[in-house]
Structure formats: structure tokens, C-alpha cells
Amino acid sequence: MNIAILSRNPKLYSTKRLKEAGEEAGHNVEIINHMKCVLLIEKRNPMVWYNGRRLDYFDAIIPRIGASVTFYGAAVVRQFEMMKVFTAVESQALIRSRDKLRSLQILSRAGLGLPKTIFMDYSSDTEGVIEAVGGAPVVIKLLEGTQGLGVVLAENKKAAQSVIEAFNGVRARIIVQEFVKEAKGSDLRAFVVNGEVVGAMKRQAKAGEFRSNLHRGGTSSVYKLNRTEKTAAIAAAKKMGLGVAGVDMLPTKRGPLILEVNSSPGLEGIEGATKVDIAGKIISFVEKNAAKKRIQKDKVNA
């Protein structure tokens, strides 16, 4: 089987591990920089060109699309979909996951637990907004933020009002979210592949920091999800339409509260904490589904 990993950086841990796992399973794996792909669009003959050659021989792709290039990355994934190539992450699910507001609305409609969240169009009623999520402290997030960037903890009402007003002043769209004290600077990351939790870890923020992201100095340890947490993680990935997802949750007395569903979750932290071959699980998922798609394609062409 020919598999393409869409990644701008072949040196990243996740990219290297996926290539390694694919080759160990006997597949031909190439790393393709999606930002250098050229899309040919014509009637019934969509094509992707890369470095002067046609990419018409892949059975499957594994997108590793960075948040800053979601628009073009999703377009490349969509082009491969039009070429009847299986993708581990579908283009619409990728776009959906990168829209924090839309994601929360989808999860809310599905009845999944969420921290109280406010979104507004540059409202001047900052006091009302803060009270609506339970009062200070509150977490203020840029809609476009990632890996803990663009996330601020406002310890008191005055600080929260100042931060909201500052973001409003530069026309930056934000969400205001309740601060869940009982989490004590920790959260859970459940890794879901093909509707199954294949690994989970607990992430703990470093001293003096409330963001538990590993990129921001947090630490990780293996964690066994309870039934409610596992069910929530699987449901969140399904509702977002993601075959591969990292579901971030806060464990609380109210049950798990979902923070985010990540469509390009990193492998280094989860494999290091769990000692599970997550990359191999993703390759197995790709193998099964690419084979099914090939059979369907052959029937259509017969």
C-alpha cells in the first residue's frame, strides 16, 4: 500500500513515527509537504502535483495539518478525497475541529459536558459576561489559539474586564470560559482511533502555570479513564467526524468536561506516557479503511 503523510516537517516526532510504523507494516510511505502541492481542478479529473510529478498512486493519506495552514491543508485533503483516496482525517472534520466555537456548539448539541462558555460580538457588558460563567477567575481564549497560546487566566473580575476590553479593542474574537478549580492545573488527553480509545494520559501544568500543554512545560503520566470519561471521548470524536482525535477533558464531580477535540494530536507525549504504539494503531486504521475504499472503487470502475 502507498501512504502519504501530509506534513511540513519530516523531523517532527509524530511524522517520523507514522512513517516508521507504516514501513514496519510493509507499506511504501512518503512524507509530502502539503503546502508545496499544486491542485489541478478540471471536470472529472482532479489531480495533485508535487515537485513536478502526479500524486495519483496513493491508497491513503494521513494529514498532519498545522493550525496556521488549515485552509490550504484542508483543500489538499479535499483534492485527495475527490481522487477517491482514503484519508485518516477528512477535510470537513479538519475544518470543523479548528473552529473552536463551532466545535463547542456541536459538542453541546450532542449533550456532552463542557465548561460554561461565553462567546460575544465585542460586548461592552464585560461584568455580565464574567458573572455568566460563574465569576472570576475566568479563562479567556482567542478563537484561533493553539498549544496554549492565546489563553489567559484572569484571577479577578478587574483583570478579566481589562483583558476582555483589550481583546475587544483589537477586534480579536474570544471565548470566556469558567475556570474549573478542582482540576488543579491538570487535564486528560484521550487518544481515539477509529472509535476506540487507544491510550490516555494525565497532563499536569508546571508550578505557577495553569495550562497543562506539554509544549508549555507540562508533564504527562499514563491514566486509566473511567467508563464515563471513555464514553465521552469516543462520542466527542464521533460527533466531530474524526477517525483520529485527541480529546482533552477535565475530570470533575459533574463528570468529564470537554475542552477541545484535536484533529492532529501529537504522538510523542501519549506514546511516552502510555508506552503504546499509537502510530501503529493509526496505520492499522488506515489499512482497513483504505482496503475497503479500494474495493468500492474497483466495483465502480468494473
Please report the sign of the dihedral spanned by the C-alpha atoms of residue 119, residue 124, residue 130, residue 132. Answer: negative
From edge to edge, which strands make up the β-sheet containing 2-6?
28-32, 2-6, 60-63, 86-87
Q: What is the pLDDT of residues 4-36, one digit of tens each?
A: 999 999 999 999 999 999 999 999 999 999 999
Residues 254 and 192 grouped into a single domain: yes
Residues 166 and 212 grouped into a single domain: no
Print the domain residue range for 44.
2-89
Residues 68 and 21 grouped into a single domain: yes
Residues 78 and 23 grouped into a single domain: yes
Tens of pLDDT, residue by residue, the chain (302 residues): 999 999 999 999 999 999 999 999 999 999 999 999 999 998 889 999 999 999 999 999 999 999 999 999 999 999 999 999 999 999 999 999 999 889 999 999 999 999 999 998 777 788 898 999 999 999 998 877 555 567 888 989 999 999 998 888 888 888 899 999 888 878 999 999 999 999 999 998 776 555 655 555 568 899 999 999 999 999 999 999 999 999 999 999 999 999 999 999 999 999 999 999 999 999 999 999 998 777 666 655 55
Residues 6+ apart with CB under 8 A from 246: 189, 190, 191, 192, 261, 262, 265, 266, 270
Residues 128 and 62 grouped into a single domain: no
How far apart CA 160 and CA 172 sit, in angstroms, is: 15
Q: Is residue 291 part of a domain?
A: no
Residues 224 and 256 grouped into a single domain: yes
Residues 46 and 27 grouped into a single domain: yes
Last residue in a domain, options 129, 152, 179: 179
CATH number at residue 58: 3.40.50.20
Contact 190/211 with Cβ under 8 angstroms? no
- How confident is the model at residue 112, as a pLDDT? 97
Residues 172 and 197 grouped into a single domain: no
Which of 162, 224, 216, 166 is CA-nearest to residue 197?
A: 224
Q: Is residue 227 part of a domain?
A: yes
> pTM higher than 0.85 for the full model?
yes
Q: What is the pLDDT of residues 269-301, one digit of tens each?
A: 999 999 999 999 999 999 999 987 776 666 555
Residues 194 and 234 grouped into a single domain: yes
Residues 14 and 69 grouped into a single domain: yes
Contact 35/45 with Cβ under 8 angstroms? no
Last residue in a domain, options 230, 248, 263: 263
CATH number at residue 131: 3.30.1490.20
- How confident is the model at residue 148, as a pLDDT? 54
Which residue type sits at 198? V
